[in-house]
Structure 1
Amino acid sequence: MEKRLVEDKLKLGVCYYPEHWSEDLWEDDFKRMKDLGITYVRMGEFAWTIFEPEEGNFSFDLFDRAVTKAHEFGLSVIMGTPTATPPAWLTEKYPDVLNVAQDGISYQHGARRHYNYNSENYRKLSSIIVTQMAQHYSSNPAIVGWQIDNELNCEIDVFYSEADHNAFRKWAKEKYKTLDNLNNAWGTVFWNQTYTNWNQVYLTRKTVPNSPNPHHMLDEKRFISDSAISYAALQADILRKHAPNHWITTNGMFKHIDNHRMTTEILDFYAYDSYPNFGRVIEDHSEKPLRDRKWSWNLSVVRSISPNYAIFEQQSGSGGWTTRLEQPSPKPGQLRLWTYQSIAHGADMVMYFRWRTATKGTEIYWHGINDYHNQPNRRVKEVEQVSSEVQQIGKKIVGSSYQAEAALILNYDNEWDGEFDQWHGPYATKSKDAWIKAFQYNHIPVDAFNLHSETTVVDLKRYKVLIYPHAAIVTKQQANLFSEYVQQGGNIIFGCRSGYKDETGQTYMKQFPGYLSDLVGVTVEEFTRVAPFEQVPSINFKGAHDIEANDFNEVLQLEKDAEVISTFSGAHFEGKPALVKRNDGLGSSYYYGGVFNLDLASLLINEFELNNYQEKFELPEEIELAIRQKDGNDYTFLLNYSDRPQEIVVKKEFRNMLTGNQVCGRVTLEPYDVLVLE
């Protein structure tokens, strides 16, 4: 069952840290928030020492005053449990709570997220502080919900403390029951790694060469995810018991957590922290980089967890720590653009990070809405504009669903296996990026779809087209599911390195692509990486120019009634099949023996009738199109990510929801401007 945020209209909020500021500032801060149209204030997640200055001694005075003052101005408070930053008294007295690197060196107090999820002491002390807070604030009229911890697995996403090794041993024993089963699953007969006693089982440790057992590594990621979810559940259970009228969520999206399962099992909805400015500073030499527009894909992944979600941290200023991540300031209009990027993809609550830039600590250059001096600036004016607009459109847009007829399939097992396996992980990343660009630049909305053990053909049939570029791990059950989807009218596209592994990460003793072979109608005759010094082979797709087949090539051999769409040229396998299509029932499957690029993905998109936007608009590449729908009404978002004006043609008459004006004909979108049409 999908968990989603339920609001009566779109709402804005802001992150605020009363413990950072003189109490003399609070009233003016909360008044200005209210004047800006802010509804929610998020606080508390880094303040354990304020709530519990010494073990067993609890103090709520400071936050009681802050919450009361916020409530005086009609603001609602989202309270964070403060477990992301354990106090110095705690880490000094209980050093076993500290996280440890793979080489055995302990991390120390002084930053954040330096704890581990499996320390019994940390779980006990976390339970105590969360219980105290839940009991204290359960009937407070200002508090509406809780954020568990802060950004689980941010900063560090692997854990090797003694408590983690012990918990992993228990986890493995529960999963495999016997050492024989574990040894088989991990293939320990290779290199004489066989375990003969459970006490020999640890999380991965430094090896010579530094190349731990890959099947062991895959289970390690599963264990880390289970540990994080267990720790979040510990807190959620307490909050449900003592504050049953408040909703519960957590924020961020980081590696080695099955966020879908965590949300389904313990949260009311999912919340994300959106920082598109990262996309402007991360080095990207690929073709037509998306920059901040790439965050639309991140939001698609969030939407696959909660169709309507919250943004708990929306970038509002330049980002930078004292030690890293120097970012430019958002250009005029970008703060507003990024807000609408979040809303277009399903956010019904957007909270800006942060109200005012910190004057102390590591994040003194991570700028908020207000600068240190508290004087008016253009970021405040942009939030004021967004707030005014959101109040106009909020009741219509809220609860509406993003519309997409295509989806990229994601799967945690393949993601985690691909982190370590360089024979499919990097290709999956490269092809995924190519497809995201193809959908974006062709103005076709796309979903992320999480494939898991409970997925049914009904789930898949929501989409005309599914893309699963390099699915190394494919079970027989999944292959049968894809076949059923195709027979019932779906279309699915695979790339090289698909279907050759089982759920342990071991390879099948079957011709590639394993259980997918019957569906796609081919086996792999031979395969090769493309060496840096070699000529890159190419393919010719339906008369289009030669498309480079970079990185990896699979020569395909027809086994069923598959149609050869393209062949290789410029290699010793000249003329051999590279891309095939097989019709089955009402649908079709495609298999490409290579890594997708933007050219090929764009051409393949044209094989399907995915979007009728051409009947309504003429759009340049710089514009993103997104559609949310409710009660049969479409709400179309057109977002200009360019620093230059873009001319669009609106072929039918629409109403501009932000101005109330009718729109038709040629329209110029200013740099970073937004149209919301109905």
Structure 2
Amino acid sequence: MARLAYGGDYNPEQWPEEVWQEDVRLMREAGVTMVSVGIFAWSKLEPEPGRYDFGWLDRLLDLLHEHGIRADLGTPTVVPPAWFYAAHPEALPVSREGVRYGFGSRGAICHSSAAYRAAAARITERLAERYGRHPALALWHVHNEYGVPVGACYCEASAEEFRDWLRARHGTLDALNAAWGTAFWGQTYGDWAHVDAPRLTPTVANPAQQLDYARFTDETVRGNFTAERDILHRLSPGVPVTTNFMTALSQCDSMDYWAWGREVDLVTNDHYLITDGRRTHVNLAMAADLTRSVAGGAPWLLLEHSTSGVNWQRRNPAKAPGQMARNSLAHVARGSEGALFFQWRQSRYGAEKFHSAMLPHAGTDSRVWREVVGLGADIAALAEVAGTRTVADAAVLWDWQSWWAQKLEWRPSQDHDARERADSWYEALFDRHLTVDFARPEADLSAYPLVVVPALYLTTEAAGRNLRAYVEAGGTLLVSYFSGVVDEHDTVHPGPVPGALRDVLGLTVEEFAPLLDGERVRLDGPEAPALTGDLWTEVVVPRGAEPVWTYADGPAAGRPAVTRHALGAGTAWYVSTRLGPAELGAVLAAAAQDTGLPDRAELPHDVEVVRRAGEQGAYLFVINHSGAEAKVPLDVPGTELLTGERAIGRLSVPPGAVRVLREES
């Protein structure tokens, strides 16, 4: 598209056709440029097996085209019709406890079901044949939010496919037994037929088996996506194909989005605020940075978020005035090529009738509608930003497979949460006004002066070598506790912890010493402020590293708590206890002295300053989440795109407002 996208999910099948004319009129008023359609419409498109009804969709797409609105057209394979399940009840997924789920929700699919795969291919082919060259078509939208609410299935068909997957991965039973460590608890296999899905067991199931099943599930689900994608590529050449990710929601982490990002033509994401008392704009920024990183730094698209409250949390507060625009433009600042919502018109029935929408139950005489129209004008005013890329200062390592392993049972402390560490480290970076790229542990990190590793329990030997080479070449590495511990099979690396990171960090860990609930430890440093840790400590033995902070009390009293290791041209830091975001900021400040990163301490708290740049120029986004006017110093003058004002020396941003400066070269 030649401009930023604006719109949302449109479900006209929920409304009589006379409403459609009003919808497109209001879409034009709001500045809508694209809507997502057909995502949940399989039962309307194919009301009986083999009998198709495309007339209503023909009329809809023609109507959208007539009014200059593009379509993100869904393959409706997230919800097969009731008649399909009546014929194929085995396609309903089975839980780990052996319970088969019922029909009546969404995403209730066994992805190993041959019947499902065949039916999904047929409806996808019919849609591609009919609409593959329709002038309204901008994008193909396969399925919807894969892995939500069910990813893994534990039925017999899944178990049989898992055995085939294991043969391909491990080759022989001897190799499987070695990788899984089946000598422990006498689990050795002598026949492939005896290998099962990791169903519910009396106590902890083999962790390596569970980890492989998570990989198998992810690859199986992704295979169903690529099957549909390939049909669309063949029958609708030149039209990009995507599926909507949910990259940063901890409830939706069963997909390895590094692998998924390589399979889509355009990375898209859904993001919803988790209102758990934390600063929601920080999580939003992290989600946007992560999605851009999954896209390899290329522009991506926010395909769903909410105009106001959602409906699926325990408490669903409405967004404050102006928050919708701040949320939307924060995604754009961090690389999105627009902002779309779920959904256009608020539903009157069904599970999501209390989820906010662009056109709410209150109608056009409402704050939400007025803000929707205003945001549409802002998105249009930022058209020239399209195609530019967000500029990052530092990298954070992020690995879904390491998280899968970390979440398994019987760790030194079940209270340790790898995702919580990622959130806290990101918040500390956010508060230092550093824009973050996320990266795989084996990725080229040479462009980043600072790389942060919040929690990398599973670290391959290749990742360890990569991080050592990064530091030796002059990088600054900052690693959090319980990293580098196991390999890809959840087997502890030979020798002392932290195995794969031992050499780069210049230390060993003699013993993990997690703390009890409520316990705290004090960290002292000769030239550093005292810090307080909780939840976790370690008995650290320096092997070249120097202590910066030392435990003043607790089970590791007198031992190093935070260390610095000079290696080659760079340095590697290690933090062996849990610190909060503010105290992590003190560690970041110390480590940043090794990096040459700019000190942005003068920038106001809770004010985002993010730059997008491209051949057409550079754009400075300033998003003020605070209740006071922000005055941001400028390196160069420029013109503010939303107000038309020229700014020299500094840019003033009112409370809760957004400003976007086109910088003068």
Q: TM (normalized to structure 2)?
A: 0.93
Q: 1:362 to 1:403 in 2, by over 3 A?
A: same
| Distance across 2 between alignment mates of 1:613 and 1:568 | 28
Q: Residue 3 of structure 1 corresponds to which residue in structure 2?
A: none
SS of the residue corresponding to residue 402 of structure 2 reads: helix
Q: Residue 302 of structure 1 corresponds to which residue in structure 2?
A: 291
| Offset, 1:329 | 1.6
Q: Residue 404 of structure 2 corresponds to which residue in structure 1?
A: 416
Q: Residue 635 of structure 1 corresponds to which residue in structure 2?
A: 619
| Distance across 2 between alignment mates of 1:267 and 1:113 | 20
Q: Residue 398 of structure 1 corresponds to which residue in structure 2?
A: 386
SS of the residue corresponding to residue 27 of structure 1 reads: helix
Residue 271 (structure 1) aligned to one of 260, 268, 271: 268
In the alignment, residue 336 of structure 1 is paired with which amino acid?
A
Q: 1:71 to 1:527 in 2, by over 3 A?
A: same
Of residues 249-258 and 353-362 in structure 1, the stretch that sits farther from structure 2 once superposed is 249-258
CA RMSD of aligned residues (A): 2.0
Instruction: Give runs of aligned pairs for residues 573-592 of structure 1, distance below 5 A.
Output: 573-592=556-575
Q: Residue 427 of structure 2 corresponds to which residue in structure 1?
A: 437
| Offset, 1:16 | 0.6
| Distance across 2 between alignment mates of 1:154 and 1:78 | 20
Contact 1:319 1:325 in 2 (8 A): no
Matched, 1:82 2:105: no
| Offset, 1:432 | 1.6
Gap regions ≥5 residues in structure 2 = 247-251
Q: 1:81 to 1:544 in 2, by over 3 A?
A: same
Q: Residue 308 of structure 2 corresponds to which residue in structure 1?
A: 317
In the alignment, residue 261 of structure 1 is paired with which amino acid?
A
SS of the residue corresponding to residue 239 of structure 1 reads: helix
Instruction: Give runs of aligned pairs for residues 129-208 of structure 1, distance below 5 A.
Output: 129-208=123-202
Matched, 1:35 2:26: no
Matched, 1:71 2:71: no
| Offset, 1:613 | 6.7
SS of the residue corresponding to residue 13 of structure 1 reads: strand
**Per-residue CA distance 1:455-502 (angstroms, 9 max, x = gap):** 3xxx21121111113322222222111111111111111122222211
| Offset, 1:202 | 1.5
| Distance across 2 between alignment mates of 1:12 and 1:219 | 40
In the alignment, residue 139 of structure 2 is paired with which amino acid?
G
| Distance across 2 between alignment mates of 1:550 and 1:600 | 12
Gap regions ≥5 residues in structure 1 = 1-6
Matched, 1:446 2:447: no
Of residues 512-521 and 38-47 in structure 1, the stretch that sits farther from structure 2 once superposed is 512-521
| Distance across 2 between alignment mates of 1:381 and 1:664 | 32
In the alignment, residue 400 of structure 2 is paired with which amino acid?
Y
| Distance across 2 between alignment mates of 1:504 and 1:464 | 31
| Offset, 1:433 | 2.0
Residue 550 (structure 1) aligned to one of 534, 538, 550: 534
Contact 2:412 2:512 in 1 (8 A): no
Matched, 1:597 2:580: yes
Contact 2:132 2:235 in 1 (8 A): yes
| Offset, 1:610 | 6.0
**Per-residue CA distance 1:143-182 (angstroms, 9 max, x = gap):** 1221000000111232212221111111112111221211
**Per-residue CA distance 1:550-582 (angstroms, 9 max, x = gap):** 11212222223x222121111354322222211
SS of the residue corresponding to residue 145 of structure 1 reads: strand
Q: Residue 642 of structure 2 corresponds to which residue in structure 1?
A: 658
Q: 1:303 to 1:533 in 2, by over 3 A?
A: closer
| Offset, 1:104 | 1.2
Q: 1:115 to 1:410 in 2, by over 3 A?
A: same
Instruction: Give runs of aligned pairs for residues 481-496 of structure 1, distance below 5 A.
Output: 481-496=466-481
Equivalent pairs counted in the alignment come to 649
Q: Residue 62 of structure 1 corresponds to which residue in structure 2?
A: 56
| Distance across 1 between alignment mates of 2:362 and 2:316 | 20
Contact 2:528 2:549 in 1 (8 A): no
Of residues 563-572 and 180-189 in structure 1, the stretch that sits farther from structure 2 once superposed is 563-572
Q: 1:357 to 1:533 in 2, by over 3 A?
A: closer
Matched, 1:213 2:206: yes
Of residues 330-339 and 583-592 in structure 1, the stretch that sits farther from structure 2 once superposed is 583-592
Contact 1:547 1:599 in 2 (8 A): no
| Offset, 1:77 | 1.0
Residue 645 (structure 1) aligned to one of 628, 648, 655: 628
In the alignment, residue 237 of structure 2 is paired with which amino acid?
P
| Distance across 1 between alignment mates of 2:128 and 2:645 | 48
| Distance across 2 between alignment mates of 1:243 and 1:208 | 51
Q: Residue 218 of structure 2 corresponds to which residue in structure 1?
A: 225
Q: Residue 568 of structure 1 corresponds to which residue in structure 2?
A: 551
Contact 2:78 2:107 in 1 (8 A): yes
| Distance across 1 between alignment mates of 2:596 and 2:37 | 43
Q: Residue 39 of structure 2 corresponds to which residue in structure 1?
A: 45
| Distance across 1 between alignment mates of 2:256 and 2:546 | 38
| Distance across 2 between alignment mates of 1:593 and 1:460 | 23
Q: 1:373 to 1:568 in 2, by over 3 A?
A: closer
Q: Residue 428 of structure 1 corresponds to which residue in structure 2?
A: 418
| Distance across 1 between alignment mates of 2:526 and 2:284 | 33
Contact 2:93 2:153 in 1 (8 A): yes
Q: 1:11 to 1:632 in 2, by over 3 A?
A: closer
Contact 1:537 1:548 in 2 (8 A): yes
Q: 1:190 to 1:544 in 2, by over 3 A?
A: same
Q: 1:420 to 1:377 in 2, by over 3 A?
A: same
| Offset, 1:664 | 4.9
| Offset, 1:341 | 1.2
In the alignment, residue 258 of structure 2 is paired with which amino acid?
H
Q: 1:430 to 1:362 in 2, by over 3 A?
A: closer
Of residues 33-42 and 68-77 in structure 1, the stretch that sits farther from structure 2 once superposed is 33-42
Contact 2:425 2:454 in 1 (8 A): no
Q: Residue 230 of structure 2 corresponds to which residue in structure 1?
A: 237
| Offset, 1:666 | 7.4
Q: Residue 361 of structure 2 corresponds to which residue in structure 1?
A: 372
Contact 2:9 2:344 in 1 (8 A): yes
In the alignment, residue 495 of structure 1 is paired with which amino acid?
S
| Offset, 1:207 | 0.9
| Distance across 2 between alignment mates of 1:637 and 1:203 | 49
| Distance across 1 between alignment mates of 2:599 and 2:327 | 23
Residue 331 (structure 1) aligned to one of 320, 339, 353: 320
**Sequence identity of aligned pairs in percent?**
28
Q: Residue 4 of structure 1 corresponds to which residue in structure 2?
A: none
**Per-residue CA distance 1:433-455 (angstroms, 9 max, x = gap):** 22111112222211211235xx3
Contact 1:424 1:497 in 2 (8 A): no
Instruction: Give runs of aligned pairs for residues 81-120 of structure 1, distance below 5 A.
Output: 81-120=75-114
Contact 2:177 2:188 in 1 (8 A): yes
